[in-house]
Amino acid sequence: MFDVAIGLSSYCWLCNFGLVFMLGLRVSKHIGISAMQNNSELSHASNQSSHRSNQAPYIGAAIAIIVILVVGLILVSHFLFKPTATFQAHVTRITVQSSGSVVVSYTVSNSGKASGSPLCTINATGSKPAYVGVDEFLVPTSLAPGSALNSIAQISVSDSGARFITEASISCS
């Protein structure tokens, strides 16, 4: 394992640093071991025992670091990649209720992968720009994935201009 780290140094010093760092080794200690192996004064048996005694604590540390990294990645991916609800909505009808309000019928559907209650905004406009109605509301029902809801919303219109409202749009998130 030590020779692999030194072999990588000629191709990628950053890879070597990452491998040595992950195993908890110091480069100077590793180079010293390699130099001792080539020294004719040391016997082959003492080199082998030196490798074994130095290697054991680092393997345990490397395994612990790998386990911590894997658990951390699992937790991060769980929170970052949650399935979400995606809503699509459209207005189906506009009805004047009084001089100051309209009733907007709408359909909202959940095309996502999780249940949720959408926050919707309805904009009602007409032939005269002075008369508008806007409402933002939270749909009180949680929509399951693939389901749809038909409902109505009463929208107040400025200056009692409900009779001038000709169109409405809805957006939900």
- Residue 156: strand, helix, or coil: strand
124 within 8 A of 153, measured Cβ to Cβ: no
8 pLDDT above the threshold of 60: no
- Hey, where are the domains in the chain? 2-80, 87-172
134 CB-near residues (< 8 Å, 6+ apart): 121, 122, 123, 124, 155
The reported pLDDT for the residue numbered 79 is: 76
The reported pLDDT for the residue numbered 4 is: 38
Confidence tier at 134 by pLDDT (50, 70, 90): very high
Nearest to 93 by CA among 78, 82, 83, 103: 103
The reported pLDDT for the residue numbered 10 is: 40
Kindly state the average pLDDT of the residues 50-70: 78
Comparing 76 with 53, the larger pLDDT belongs to: 76
Percentage of the chain lying above the pLDDT 90 cut: 51
Residue 35: exposed, middle, or buried by beta-carbon count in 10 A (0-12, 13-18, 19+)? exposed
94 pLDDT above the threshold of 50: yes
CB atoms within 10 A of CB 112: 17
152 pLDDT above the threshold of 90: yes
For the chain, the straight-line distance linking the first and the last C-alpha, in angstroms and rounded, comes to: 54
Comparing 82 with 169, the larger pLDDT belongs to: 169
| Architecture of the domain delimited by 87-172 | Sandwich (2.60)
The reported pLDDT for the residue numbered 76 is: 84
Longest dimension (CA), the chain: 105
The reported pLDDT for the residue numbered 61 is: 85
- Taking only the tens place, the pLDDT of each residue in 100-120 is 999 999 999 999 999 999 999
Confidence tier at 56 by pLDDT (50, 70, 90): low
Percentage of the chain lying above the pLDDT 70 cut: 67
Mean of per-residue pLDDT scores for the chain = 77
